[in-house]
Amino acid sequence: MNLKYYYWYFQSAIPERICDEIVRYGKKQEKETAITGSNSKEIKDLTELEIKNIQQKRKSDIVWMSDRWIYKEIQPYIYQANVNAGWNFDWDFSEACQFTEYKKDQFYDWHCDSYEEPYDQPDNKNTHGKIRKLSMTISLTNPEEYEGGDLEFDFRDTDKGSQPRICEEIRKKGSVIVFPSFVWHRVKPVTKGTRHSLVCWNLGYPFKWVLKKINIK
Segment 154-181, tens digit of pLDDT: 987 766 667 899 999 999 999 999 999 9
pLDDT above 60 (res 192) = yes
In a domain, 67, yes or no: yes
CATH (domain of 190): 2.60.120.620
Q: How does pLDDT run across 100-111, given as a tens digit for each residue?
A: 999 999 999 999
Going by pLDDT thresholds of 50, 70 and 90, the confidence category of residue 37 is: low
Query: Domain total for the chain?
Result: 1
Task: Please check whether residue 204 is in contact with residue 130, taking contact to mean a CB–CB distance below 8 angstroms.
Answer: yes
List, in order, residues 6 or more apart from 60 with CB less than 8 Å away: 34, 100, 101, 102, 103, 106, 107, 108, 187
In a domain, 65, yes or no: yes
Task: Return the pLDDT at 111.
Answer: 93
Its domain, for residue 169, covers: 8-38+45-213
- 186 three-state secondary structure: strand
Phi and psi at residue 28, to the nearest 5°: -80, -20
Query: Alpha-carbon distance 184 to 157, whole Å?
Result: 8
In a domain, 109, yes or no: yes
Going by pLDDT thresholds of 50, 70 and 90, the confidence category of residue 204 is: very high
Task: Return the pLDDT at 42.
Answer: 58
In a domain, 201, yes or no: yes
Q: How does pLDDT run across 118-165, given as a tens digit for each residue?
A: 999 999 999 999 999 999 999 999 999 999 999 999 987 766 667 899
In a domain, 138, yes or no: yes
Task: Find the angle CA(115)-CA(116)-CA(121) to the nearest 5 degrees.
Answer: 70
In a domain, 2, yes or no: no
Task: Return the pLDDT at 116.
Answer: 81
Q: What is the mean pLDDT of the chain?
A: 90
In a domain, 192, yes or no: yes
- Taking residues 17-42, report their average pLDDT: 83
Task: Return the pLDDT at 39.
Answer: 43
Q: How far is CA 106 from CA 1, 15, 69, in A?
A: 32, 26, 29
In a domain, 123, yes or no: yes
Q: How far is CA 91 from CA 57, 66, 87, 175, 207, in A?
A: 29, 18, 11, 22, 11
Looking at per-residue pLDDT, the higher value among 211 and 191 belongs to: 191
Q: Is the pTM of this model over 0.85?
A: yes
pLDDT above 50 (res 98) = yes
